[in-house]
């Protein structure tokens, strides 16, 4: 299917043209037909000479309905700019063109309507001059009459050629369906409609809406039930779940999108907008605050979380004015905090340089071309800004992750990684006895995964039984009575390493109070939580056992595998969660993410 949006001044014949092409009435409301103008989004479709189907999103042309117009145009890959021969280029013609240009829409047709009422040549010449210098400068043009049928066969052929020349869509990519209509069907429930620009929808699949899971109860495309719909398509989705969606909400593939309340962007040339603004992306219009960063960059803060990716295009508009204010392209959806003096200017300079790194691209998957003024950030840019990111982080941010030698799918900026290695060596040296457990070092360095800590260990650092030491710095010997107490503990835990002794037994072993503190400082024991003491290599040994369990596993299954009690299993699993060894799911079960 090929989806195209109309654009143009009010009462220039957009709906009449769609009606003549499709035989369908795009104006859905009696009020629209009574007033003779579109006030909400209309939809119609027809078969083209090649057999392709074209679906039209008919948008209002009146200045009072610019938000509705942008909701229809935003997700569409192509536009049909309509200009009446008897009126020529008008105010909303220019505003609609400005919006399309800022959104990076490069595919479309220029259609001069009402060719039966006036010579179309003057209107065509003026429209061509207005298109000059925009993304749509070279689109084909033709004259038609929706009343007499003049030029309609040629228009259908031009639509066919346009459809054939569009870039292929990613049908295997993640779904982000912006809802442009929401209604309730008796006996079926909530239905949302939108333009599916990437991915595939299937009946029965689970999606996220507003952070909540919803199930696809059924699908329709062009009023026909379907078990599966692939991009590009107009689709109606019947949902099951405790949600109340509205226009501008997005149906998302779970785990594939980063919901953010702020983003760093590049602005289109001109004076940065001020005041109370609306961000238009897809069919959404979200109140937004702007903080200019200099060098054509800004930080946007949104009134609600949005699923954004690097390369997304959007519009910023002052709702008190009808004209579109400026265009933006998203550069970072996880912007770092700006606290130090001069941090904003430094951030602006870094964003201005985005795209120069190896691996940076002109386009992120599923996005339009970036606005003039620079490329899009690549993985190297994002890692330089954030230090450490997982492959999943990069994917949800809209960037392809490069190969990595780090464990667990992690990626690091080389300079940041060198700084971490130096910090680890300094931490071990300053630990008093020159020893740190992997868990303590992970916490000290603020790392999200202890596998990264292990990967940082290099001579003169050593790793033995979960303890990091230095080859050139022998730890001071523990007192004889404490060494004997630890030896007794090791003997008791030899066969059942997770059967932590009770507080009473620890006291009998001589590992209570100051003695326990000294043993922990010497990295001879691991205090999981108050009253739960194990040997330092307990996390490694636990992960080896947990990896043998079917995923996901419950606390009870973990307790049995570890041959211990809930008193030990629960805090130990929580420690493993914090170290990145396991991941807890919404239902309380876990998956093992560590590789030993």
Q: Kindly report, residue by residue over 281-290, the tens digit of the pLDDT.
A: 988 889 999 9
Q: Which of 164, 196, 212 is the last residue of a domain?
A: 164
> Is residue 365 predicted with pLDDT exceeding 50?
no
pLDDT of residue 369: 46
Helix or strand or coil: residue 178? strand
What would the two tokens of residue 429 be?
């040296």
d(CA 389, CA 411): 5
Lowest mean pLDDT among 363-372, 429-438, 448-457, 534-543: 363-372
d(CA 257, CA 494): 46
> Is residue 356 predicted with pLDDT exceeding 70?
no
User: Quick check: is 526 in a domain?
Assistant: yes
Give the 3-state DSSP-derived string for 267-294, with helices as H, strands as E and coil as C: ECCCCCCCCCEEEEECCEEEEEEEEEEE
pLDDT of residue 171: 86
Digit-coded pLDDT (tens) for 224-283: 999 999 988 889 999 988 788 888 899 999 989 999 999 999 999 888 888 889 998 988
* Strand 2-7, strand 53-58: pairing: parallel
Under the banding of pLDDT at 50, 70 and 90, the label for residue 475 is low
pLDDT of residue 37: 38
- Same domain, yes or no, for 564 and 457? no
User: Quick check: is 29 in a domain?
Assistant: yes
pLDDT of residue 77: 83
- Same domain, yes or no, for 395 and 421? no
pLDDT of residue 68: 65
Q: Is there a contact between 107 and 134 (Cβ–Cβ < 8 Å)?
A: no
- Same domain, yes or no, for 220 and 300? no
Digit-coded pLDDT (tens) for 501-554: 999 999 999 998 888 888 887 778 889 988 899 998 898 899 999 999 998 999
What would the two tokens of residue 133 be?
């210098």
Task: Using the Cα atoms of residue 230, residue 233, residue 237 and residue 243 in order, give the sign of their dihedral.
Answer: positive
- Same domain, yes or no, for 330 and 426? no
Structural domains counted in the chain: 5
Q: Which residue has the higher pLDDT, 65 or 127?
A: 127
What mean pLDDT do residues 316-339 have?
A: 85
State the chain's mean pLDDT as an integer.
85
- Same domain, yes or no, for 241 and 365? no
Digit-coded pLDDT (tens) for 191-201: 998 889 889 99
**CATH code for the domain in which residue 62 is found:** 3.40.50.300
Q: Which of 452, 470, 488 is the last residue of a domain?
A: 470
- Same domain, yes or no, for 27 and 149? yes
Q: Which residues contact 226 (CB under 8 A, 6 or more apart)?
A: 203, 219, 220
Given the structure tokens 């569009």, which residue do they identify? 166
Under the banding of pLDDT at 50, 70 and 90, the label for residue 291 is very high
Q: Which domain holds residue 302?
A: 258-402
Under the banding of pLDDT at 50, 70 and 90, the label for residue 64 is very low
- Same domain, yes or no, for 488 and 341? no
Under the banding of pLDDT at 50, 70 and 90, the label for residue 581 is confident
- Same domain, yes or no, for 247 and 262? no
Peptide bond into 37 cis (omega under 30): no
- Same domain, yes or no, for 241 and 296? no
**pTM tops 0.85, yes or no:** no
- Same domain, yes or no, for 34 and 109? yes
- Mind giving me the DSSP string for 501-556? PPHHHHHHHT-STHHHHHHHHTTSSEEEETTEEE-TTHHHHHHHHHTTSPSSB-HH
- Same domain, yes or no, for 555 and 529? yes
Q: Is there a contact between 561 and 549 (Cβ–Cβ < 8 Å)?
A: yes
- Same domain, yes or no, for 308 and 375? yes
User: Quick check: is 333 in a domain?
Assistant: yes
Which alpha helices (DSSP H) does 388-502 contain, by range? 391-397, 414-429, 438-445, 450-456, 480-493
Under the banding of pLDDT at 50, 70 and 90, the label for residue 66 is low
Q: Which residues contact 269 (CB under 8 A, 6 or more apart)?
A: 296, 372, 373
Q: Which residue has the higher pLDDT, 2 or 117?
A: 117
- Residue 200: left if φ>0, alpha if ψ -120 to 50, beta else—which one? beta
């Amino acid at each position: 299917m090929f989806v195209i949006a109309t654009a143009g001044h009010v009462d220039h014949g957009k709906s009449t043209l769609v009606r003549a092409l499709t035989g369908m009435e795009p104006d859905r409301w009696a009020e629209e037909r009574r007033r003779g103008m579109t006030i909400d989004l209309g939809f119609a479709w027809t078969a083209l000479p090649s057999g392709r189907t074209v679906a039209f999103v008919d948008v209002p042309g009146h200045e009072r309905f610019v938000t509705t117009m942008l909701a229809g145009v935003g997700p569409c890959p192509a536009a049909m700019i309509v200009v009446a021969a008897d009126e020529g280029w008008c105010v909303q013609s220019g505003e609609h063109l400005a919006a399309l240009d800022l959104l990076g829409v490069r595919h479309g047709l220029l259609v001069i309507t009402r060719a039966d009422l006036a010579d179309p040549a003057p209107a065509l010449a003026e429209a061509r001059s207005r298109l000059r210098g925009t993304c749509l400068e070279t689109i084909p043009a033709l004259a038609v009459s929706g009343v007499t049928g003049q030029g309609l066969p040629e228009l259908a052929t031009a639509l066919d050629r346009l459809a054939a020349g569009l870039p292929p869509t990613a049908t295997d990519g993640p779904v982000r369906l912006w809802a442009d209509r929401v209604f309730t069907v008796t006996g079926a429930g909530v239905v949302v409609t939108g333009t599916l620009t990437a991915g595939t929808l299937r009946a029965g699949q689970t999606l996220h809406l507003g952070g909540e899971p919803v199930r696809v109860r059924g699908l329709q495309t062009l009023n026909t039930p379907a078990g599966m719909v692939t991009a590009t398509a107009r689709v109606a989705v019947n949902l099951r779940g405790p949600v109340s969606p509205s226009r501008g909400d997005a149906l998302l593939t779970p785990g594939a999108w980063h919901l953010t309340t702020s983003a760093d962007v590049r602005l289109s040339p001109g004076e940065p907008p001020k005041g109370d603004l609306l961000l238009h992306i897809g069919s959404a219009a979200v109140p937004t605050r702007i903080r200019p960063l200099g060098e054509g960059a800004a930080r946007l803060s949104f009134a609600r979380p949005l699923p954004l990716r690097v390369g997304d295009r959007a519009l910023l508009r002052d709702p008190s004015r009808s004209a579109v204010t400026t265009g933006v392209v998203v550069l970072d959806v996880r912007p770092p905090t700006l606290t130090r003096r001069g941090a904003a200017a430094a951030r602006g300079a870094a964003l201005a340089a985005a795209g120069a790194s190896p691996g940076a691209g002109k386009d992120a998957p599923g996005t339009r071309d970036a606005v003039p003024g620079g490329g899009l950030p690549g993985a190297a840019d994002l890692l330089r800004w954030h230090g450490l990111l997982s492959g999943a982080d990069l994917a949800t941010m809209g960037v392809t992750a490069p190969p990595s030698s780090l464990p667990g799918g992690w990626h690091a900026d080389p300079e940041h990684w060198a700084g971490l290695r130096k910090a680890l060596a300094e931490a071990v040296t300053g630990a008093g006895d020159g020893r740190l457990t992997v868990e303590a070092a992970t916490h000290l360095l603020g790392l999200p995964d202890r596998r990264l800590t292990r990967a940082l260990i290099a001579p003169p650092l050593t790793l033995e039984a979960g303890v990091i030491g230095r080859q050139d710095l022998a730890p001071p010997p523990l007192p004889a009575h404490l060494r004997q107490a630890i030896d007794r503990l090791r003997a008791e835990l030899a066969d059942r390493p997770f059967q932590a002794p009770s507080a009473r037994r620890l006291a009998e072993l001589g590992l209570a109070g100051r003695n326990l503190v000294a043993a922990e400082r010497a990295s001879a024991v691991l205090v999981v939580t108050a009253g739960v003491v194990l040997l330092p290599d307990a996390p490694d040994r636990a992960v080896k056992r947990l990896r043998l369990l079917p995923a996901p596993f419950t606390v009870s299954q973990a307790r049995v595998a570890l041959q211990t009690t809930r008193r030990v299993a629960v805090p130990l699993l929580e420690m493993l969660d914090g170290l990145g060894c396991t991941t807890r799911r919404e239902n309380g079960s876990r998956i093992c993410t560590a590789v030993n």
